[in-house]
Structure 1
Amino acid sequence: MHATVRDRAPVRPALILERTETRPRAAVLVLHGGRADGEAPPPRVNAAAARMWPVGQGLLRATEGFGVVVGRVRYRCRGWNGGRADAARDTLRALDELGLLLGRLPVVLVGHSMGGRAALHAAGHDLVGGVVALAPWCPPRDPVGQLAGRSAVLLHGERDRTTDPRESVDFAERARHAGARAGTVLIARGEHSMLRRAITWQSLTTRTVAALLGAGALPDVVRQSLLDGTSPVQRA
């Protein structure tokens, strides 16, 4: 049986770099959202990707001068696609590509919605030290063992009707029991689009990532959510 043209098409790199460094000391990768199902590539005009553009720009500013490489993950498919977990597989490919290009660097993954799920799944990669998941998709049976020894901060709007903030709370609890440094911050009046209270979303995300990369201090509500012996849920 002959391969189709689509089968023979080269696989594009999963890693797209927005900023490189002469002497890199760390990296952050941004992952946008998607759909539960969809084998077609993400469209050129992609609202999910556009939603993460301000986050990427904020991260570039927040990490300026600290030797932090900033990039994003390119998905082959628009959807998660069940057990294939395509977005997670692409994230692992991007991390492998980053390691081949720059060597062993501590990496923080920042993902929204499906991208948050992909980041949490890929956290077991040797390079990953932390994850910041924004309004993540966290089904109850998703694994947490890969987060052992890593930091995971889940930011979720209390009014989200697309992904369930209660599932983020449950996920962080399970991750803590599995050995992660994990916590959830619920954003009052926050919604899935991150447009309402956008400044709060942006500030918490960029400051948390910078802190996990050693370029600043954690926001107080995030620090409290990560403290051992306290409730892993805080409100902003």
Structure 2
Amino acid sequence: MTGARLVPVRTPRDPEGVVVVLHGGASRGDRVMVSPAQLSVLRMVPVARRIARAGRSRLAVHRLLNTHRGWDSQTTPVMDLAWALEQVTARHGDLPVSLVGHSLGGRAALLGGSDPQVRSVVALNPWVTPADRADLRGTRVLVVHGTDDRIAPLSRSADFARRLAATAQVGFVAVPGARHAMLRHGRTFEAYAAEFVTATLLGVPPGSEALTAVLDGAAYVEG
């Protein structure tokens, strides 16, 4: 049983797709509950709002609040995501879904994105490990990572993307000078997430050259 929550950002009457936005956040002790006011949660509010604006009345957008902070061994963010996808199906039917996550939320999106309804995954500065493996066969994946991230090294997510490319269509965009919290280059991360989601769920051509190259098959792009 999970204590996760779905927070609606936009719920149009007849959406064509659904987006679930996943926060990060390191552990602060054993089984510490997630607070809606913690910085890692608030960091994803502008991302979710940017996606909602881009999707207009065509996309339902929800933010997932995990059960516990960090990666709890008994209730992981992947388990919370599985619960959230069940809720999405109950509320919206079998619409295509896109997952957008930052840090550990990016890891959860990558490791938990194998649900058949998931059409695409966006991982922003994902915190992954060398042992992580995922099979996202048939899913479009975008990894966006700051070159100056000292918390989740770009090299790890680049290695993960290369492994994942064996089963999925993966694009990797590096953001020069960006750090883990996405503060100085926040709008860049938001724009990439919104454009990739609307392109993969709604068929809207992206405005950026980097994402156009990714959707055309480029594996690695400097943003």
- 2:42 is matched with 50
Cα distance change, pair 38–207 in 1 and its aligned pair in 2 (3 A): farther
1:204 maps onto 2:192 in alignment: yes
Cα distance change, pair 47–103 in 1 and its aligned pair in 2 (3 A): same
Q: Deviation at 1:44?
A: 4.2
SS of the aligned residue for 1:101 comes to: helix
User: Take 1:134 and 1:85, find their aligned partners in 2: how far apart are those partners?
Assistant: 22
The amino acid that maps onto 1:234 is V
The amino acid that maps onto 2:173 is V
User: Take 1:192 and 1:137, find their aligned partners in 2: how far apart are those partners?
Assistant: 10
Q: Deviation at 1:89?
A: 0.6
Cα distance change, pair 152–46 in 1 and its aligned pair in 2 (3 A): same
Task: Give the structure with higher Rg (CA).
Answer: 1
Q: Deviation at 1:202?
A: 2.0
The amino acid that maps onto 2:143 is L
Q: Deviation at 1:212?
A: 1.5
Percent of aligned positions that are identical: 32
Contact 2:4 2:67 in 1 (8 A): no
- 1:3 is matched with none
SS of the aligned residue for 1:34 comes to: coil
- 1:221 is matched with 210
Structure 1 segment 1-236 matched on structure 2, within 5 A: 11-12=2-3, 14-35=5-26, 38-65=30-57, 67-82=58-73, 84=74, 86-145=76-135, 147-177=136-166, 179-218=167-206, 219-228=208-217, 230=218, 232-236=219-223
User: Take 2:22 and 2:170, find their aligned partners in 1: how far apart are those partners?
Assistant: 19
The amino acid that maps onto 1:91 is L
Contact 1:15 1:98 in 2 (8 A): no
RMSD: 1.8
Deviations 1:147-178 (A, max 9, x none): 1110110000000000011111111111111x
Contact 1:25 1:105 in 2 (8 A): yes
The amino acid that maps onto 1:192 is H
Deviations 1:115-173 (A, max 9, x none): 0001111111121111001000121111121x111011000000000001111111111
- Mark the runs of 5 or more structure 2 residues left unpaired by the alignment: none
SS of the aligned residue for 1:35 comes to: coil
Cα distance change, pair 142–189 in 1 and its aligned pair in 2 (3 A): same
Contact 2:4 2:66 in 1 (8 A): no
User: Take 2:75 and 2:110, find their aligned partners in 1: how far apart are those partners?
Assistant: 12
The amino acid that maps onto 2:110 is L
Q: Deviation at 1:225?
A: 3.3
- Higher fraction of helix: 1
Cα distance change, pair 225–81 in 1 and its aligned pair in 2 (3 A): same
SS of the aligned residue for 1:125 comes to: coil
User: Take 1:159 and 1:181, find their aligned partners in 2: how far apart are those partners?
Assistant: 25
User: Take 1:46 and 1:133, find their aligned partners in 2: how far apart are those partners?
Assistant: 20
Q: Deviation at 1:109?
A: 0.4
Instruction: Name which of structure 1's ranges 147-156 and 32-41 shifts more when overlaid on structure 2.
Output: 32-41
